[in-house]
Structure 1
Amino acid sequence: MTDVAEPTAEIDLHAEIERLRAQVAVLTARAETAEALADHDVLTPALNRRGFMSVLSRSMAYCRRHEVEAALLYLDMDGFKGVNDGLGHAAGDAALMAVADLLLANVRESDAVGRLGGDEFALLLMNAGADEGREKARRLSEALETEGFVWEGATVALGGSFGVRAYAGQTDPEVWLSEADAAMWLRKKAR
């Protein structure tokens, strides 16, 4: 009778191990999904502020160590309140998604795009200095105006003000972001 019980116990043990392995795989996948969601914007395909600041911090360390250029662009959409007020919040959401798609389509894989909140975005351009950053901002500004976004069959123009700040040895990502933000406000006021 002991010989019969041992194979059954062994089979039960193997079944339990397989069940636990499957459960671990499911939990691992959930954890990976949760981690990805923690760094990505809930509305757009861009990084959220937390994710962008993490990338910015790592990139600054890389720039310092390897003496690599980088440019930070800060975008504040112009007229976004008018889209929300005039066309509704669903149109505002569509505009934000269109802007994120446009920005992501116009950067390299080594670059990063984040939605910082509301209608503000940031772009990190690696291996690019101030001149390249300003040129990228000019081209993106033109694309926002000409491409806009489609809402209920009509193309709605968008606009934005960009601030550009090259990496100059900053050690705090919040300081660098504030510098790009300040440059954006100077540009916005000059208009």
Structure 2
Amino acid sequence: MTTFSLYFFLAVIVSAVHILFEYKNIQNQIHTDLRSISLSTTDSLASSMWGLDSIQLENVIDGLLTLQFITGVEIHGDIKSLNISRGNINTNTSLQYQHPITYIHGADVRPLGFITLYSEQAIVFDRMKVNVVFIVMNAFIKTFFLSIIMLYIGSRIICRPLGELLHSVHRLDLDSLKSIEQSKIMSSGQESDKANELTELICAYNKTLDQLLVRTQQRDDAKEQLESKNRCLEKLVDEKTLALQDKLDELNTMNENLKALASTDYLTELFNRRAFFDRADDELSRLRRERKKACILIVDIDHFKAVNDQYGHPAGDALLVAVSKILKHNIRQHDLVARYGGEEFAILLVDIEMDEAILLAERMRENIAKQKVIFKGDVIKATASFGLAMMFPESKDIDSVLSNADKLLYKAKASGRNLLKY
């Protein structure tokens, strides 16, 4: 009984240590997950903060909070309006990860702030449930089989008076066993009512044989149970692997969606300023390699502030959407139109001469002037001014081409608006 108590105490200690290691391992896993998520979303957050797009920033944070192991998100930036805290923010927990947010523009790396992701101990305990059950079951099974073995040994101790006889039986070879069996048969009919050393020895032998058969059956049963548990464990591992793969696929899809959202203007569904600069930089590099030309067109809606003041900002948004559709409809398939900021749009016309670019721009200007936007019964008409600048392989950079287009735009506005200057 003392041996059993000692083993039970050791089993409890080993199980507790195993559970503690499992707890530490899951904590490390959650910390790794927080680090991976923060690294994968830094670019989306940087583009949103750089573009002062608080709506896009909120969308990214909402996406992070949908992950089961993230309970809080905190963003600190240089701009106060972009400081956001969502979810359960527990600064005392060790389950948190902080990562700097930087925006890379060309060769410049600009720090914008940092993001902190939080988790909770409840997430750790939730993940530990299944593993703790298996650890406890394993300890229970070991203790149970030890009890069976100790009971068997106890029975042997109780039967100590038969020890010498059993010892003699174990020392016999097969021939001796056969002779004992033959003696039993020969003597059973003559002195069946009398107990002697030979009959006691035969009974002890038969009892030992029966015990051996029972133990063999127990061993086979235990083996079958172990194989069944192994099959269950293998099935559980397969299910967990499939579930993990599903989570990874879901995370990859979410990352793709976040990338698309980070390059798209929320209102007009056009590319945003950052996406335009990325594409324009690539296009300038291509022009230098292939010695071709391109054009950049800056479009500004005339008297847009007056529309907002007279009809309200929702009407202004409707006008922006209508103009964006006209611009998108009139460009070629390989061109790019983006919302440059406010009521301004930037269009990249690739592999084009100035004459063709002028025709495209004039068609856009005329279509905008013909457009009628009906908003809550009011008919809103607007015009737009255009500035068109050529981009050559010798152009210094995109900013210089945009500066030329912008100067031409303001020249069009100064000349009476609803004009194209090039």
Q: Given the two structures, how large is their TM-score scaled by the length of structure 1?
A: 0.95
Structure 1 distance, partners of 2:382, 2:270, is 18
Give per-residue Cα distances to partners, 1:27-60, cap 9 Å, x unaligned.
1111111111111111102111011111111111
- Say whether residues 1:62 and 2:286 are aligned partners: yes
Q: Find the counterpart in structure 2 of residue 182 from structure 1.
A: 407
**2:366 aligned residue (133, 136, 142):** 142
Q: Shift of the alpha carbon at 1:69?
A: 1.9
- Say whether residues 1:127 and 2:351 are aligned partners: yes
Structure 2 distance, partners of 1:88, 1:149, is 14
Structure 1 distance, partners of 2:399, 2:259, is 22
Q: Shift of the alpha carbon at 1:149?
A: 2.1
Contact kept? 1:48, 1:115, Cα under 8 Å: yes
Q: Give the stretch that moved more between structures: 30-39 or 62-71.
A: 62-71
Matches within 5 A, 1:9-20: 9-20=233-244
Structure 1 distance, partners of 2:403, 2:372, is 27
Structure 2: state its 5+ residue gaps.
Answer: 1-224, 417-422
Flag as ranges the 4+ runs of structure 1 deviating above 2 A.
152-155
**2:252 aligned residue (10, 28, 35):** 28
Contact kept? 1:162, 1:184, Cα under 8 Å: yes
- Say whether residues 1:172 and 2:391 are aligned partners: no
Matches within 5 A, 1:145-164: 145-164=369-388
Q: Find the counterpart in structure 2 of residue 40 from structure 1.
A: 264
- Structure showing greater radius of gyration is 2
Structure 1 distance, partners of 2:360, 2:289, is 25
Q: Shift of the alpha carbon at 1:152?
A: 2.4
Structure 1 distance, partners of 2:406, 2:373, is 25
Structure 2 distance, partners of 1:133, 1:82, is 30
- Partner of 1:75, secondary structure, is strand
Structure 2 distance, partners of 1:48, 1:17, is 39
Amino acid at match of 2:265: D
Contact kept? 2:331, 2:360, Cα under 8 Å: no
Q: Find the counterpart in structure 2 of residue 85 from structure 1.
A: 309
Structure 2 distance, partners of 1:29, 1:156, is 40
Q: Shift of the alpha carbon at 1:68?
A: 2.2
Q: Give the stretch that moved more between structures: 85-94 or 155-164.
A: 155-164
Contact kept? 1:45, 1:101, Cα under 8 Å: no
- Say whether residues 1:98 and 2:98 are aligned partners: no
Structure 1 distance, partners of 2:373, 2:276, is 24
Amino acid at match of 1:108: R
Q: Give the stretch that moved more between structures: 110-119 or 164-173.
A: 164-173
Structure 1 distance, partners of 2:314, 2:247, is 39
Q: Give the CA RMSD over aligned residues.
A: 1.3
- Partner of 1:43, secondary structure, is coil
Q: Shift of the alpha carbon at 1:80?
A: 0.7
Task: Provide closer, same or farther for how the CA distance between residues 68 and 149 of structure 1 changes in structure 2, counting only shifts above 3 A.
Answer: farther
Structure 2 distance, partners of 1:74, 1:44, is 16
- Partner of 1:42, secondary structure, is coil
Amino acid at match of 1:175: S
**2:331 aligned residue (107, 110, 120):** 107
Q: Find the counterpart in structure 1 of residue 276 from structure 2.
A: 52
Structure 2 distance, partners of 1:128, 1:45, is 25
Q: Given the two structures, how large is their TM-score scaled by the length of structure 2?
A: 0.44
Structure 1 distance, partners of 2:273, 2:340, is 5
Task: Provide closer, same or farther for how the CA distance between residues 67 and 153 of structure 1 changes in structure 2, counting only shifts above 3 A.
Answer: farther
Contact kept? 2:298, 2:347, Cα under 8 Å: yes
Question: What is the count of residue pairs matched by the alignment?
Answer: 191
